[in-house]
Amino acid sequence: MIAVGTRIEATPDALAAVEAELKEQTGAPAVAWCGRGATALYWAYRLAAGIGEPNPAPEVILPAISCTTASAALVAGLTPRFADVERSSGLLSLRSVQDRWSARTKAVVFVHLYGQTADLLPLAALCRERGAILIEDAAQATGARLPGGDCVGSVGDLTVHSFSRTKILDCGGGALVLRAPDLAERFQTDVSEYSLPGEVHPETRQALERSRHDIYRGLLALLRLDAGATVSEPWLNLHGAFDPLFLRPMTNPDALRRAWDRLPGILERRCRNASIYEQKLSGGPWELLGGWRESGACWRYSLLVDFPADLVAFSEAVRGDGFHVSNLYWPESQLFRPDDVAPNAERLARRIVNLWVDDTVDESTVEACADSLRTHAARFASGGPWDRRSEPRSD
């Protein structure tokens, strides 16, 4: 199926082969194509809200380190709750999911953060036992492998893909893979439930996107300086204004078809760049996230620095040498629901450095960037030896 304008239609020929491949990889009976990952999330949440006993305030459990998942939940009328993440990977913590569970829980989202994967069977079993659905968010992990070798999306009831700018395939678009037969059936019978509102004018969209981005960046800068600042009320109050951004029909089946054919080469190139980073950065004042090796997908190469107090200055210094680095991940709980405290997510947010491995960089850029990181780190971490082990553990 495909969302075109405000209608949902049969899958066009251009996407037939891609759809067949996704179905074969995951055992899914249906795929729904849309204009971005957030729209696929929205559909997944609408399906989740409809399962089990009617519930006036359905909840979805999300990892505290994520992107877009909470905003899309609000658009779909679900209340986001936030579980903590694993300290070393930033991936959803099963134990924390159990702590956040309530009678209102309708779904859990596992985000394959930065392309990393994990054994999802225990989480899938928990969801099944308690009558909630498991959503895999593979927006940063298209083409990734789960630890047993199966494809990403082959455990969750539903899986979200994004092909937006900056993602592994960046031609534009999104997809919801419907693996649970009952949900696939429901989507296809109640098609009118899942049709999208009309598109906003491109200039309005751009202005709204800029506004949301600026507000988000501003709030994050404030939280970085003052962890006690209460920003969730204004952020939640403003949210409805941005709803139209999240619901987009698909406009480019042909471009997606062409991009899909290039996926193996794209993944290989990303992993090659990641392995250069790994070689050049090993032994420095940081922890390197290595999950891309097992999954075969590296969205951004990521490390957690040992000098959190200087993270911003460090990144600025590396940017000054001409390299892209970002530190935009922040516990979404602090923006949407501060009571869902997530210490590991907070620790990660104050240390994370994300580095580019896509086709904007070649091997020599990666090497030069790694040198820049090492040079500036030597300045900021001059207290050494790196005192990672003596830090109080919160997990």
Ligand X SMILES: *Cc1c(COP(=O)(O)O)cnc(C)c1O
Binding residues for ligand X, per CB under 6 A? Answer: 36-38, 66-69, 111, 137, 139-140, 162, 164, 174
For residue 290, what are the contacts with CB-CB under 8 A and spacing of at least 6? 278
Measured between alpha carbons, how far is 383 from 395 in angstroms, rounded to an integer?
26
**Minimum CB–partner distance for residue 278 and ligand X (Å):** 22
For the chain, how far is it from start to end, CA to CA, in angstroms?
Answer: 43
Rounded alpha-carbon distances, angstroms, from residue 113 to 40, 110, 300, 367: 17, 9, 9, 24
Nearer residue to ligand X within complex by CB, 18 or 139 = 139
- Mark 266-302 as b/e (b = at least 16 C-beta within 10 Å): bbebbbebbbbbbebbeebbbbebebbeebbbbbbbb
**Minimum CB–partner distance for residue 333 and ligand X (Å):** 15
Token pair for residue 316?
A: 């600025």
Nearer residue to ligand X within complex by CB, 71 or 344 = 71
**Minimum CB–partner distance for residue 69 and ligand X (Å):** 6
**Minimum CB–partner distance for residue 120 and ligand X (Å):** 15
For the chain, the residue count is 395
Measured between alpha carbons, how far is 175 from 113 in angstroms, rounded to an integer?
17
Closest to 107 (Cα-Cα) out of 86, 136, 85, 87: 136
Rounded alpha-carbon distances, angstroms, from residue 295 to 116, 149, 333: 6, 8, 27
Measured between alpha carbons, how far is 251 from 255 in angstroms, rounded to an integer?
9
Nearer residue to ligand X within complex by CB, 214 or 226 = 214
User: Which DSSP helix (H) or strand (E) runs through 233?
Assistant: helix 232-239
**Minimum CB–partner distance for residue 160 and ligand X (Å):** 6
Nearer residue to ligand X within complex by CB, 242 or 380 = 242
**Is residue 162 helix, strand or coil?**
strand
**Minimum CB–partner distance for residue 65 and ligand X (Å):** 9
How do strand 2-4 and strand 300-305 relate by DSSP bridges? unpaired
Neighbour-count burial of 198, counting CB atoms closer than 10 A to its CB (0-12 exposed, 13-18 middle, 19+ buried): exposed
**Minimum CB–partner distance for residue 279 and ligand X (Å):** 27
Nearer residue to ligand X within complex by CB, 36 or 350 = 36
Residue nearest to ligand X (CB): 37
Nearer residue to ligand X within complex by CB, 139 or 256 = 139
**Minimum CB–partner distance for residue 245 and ligand X (Å):** 9
Nearer residue to ligand X within complex by CB, 111 or 271 = 111
Nearer residue to ligand X within complex by CB, 89 or 140 = 140
DSSP state of 92: B
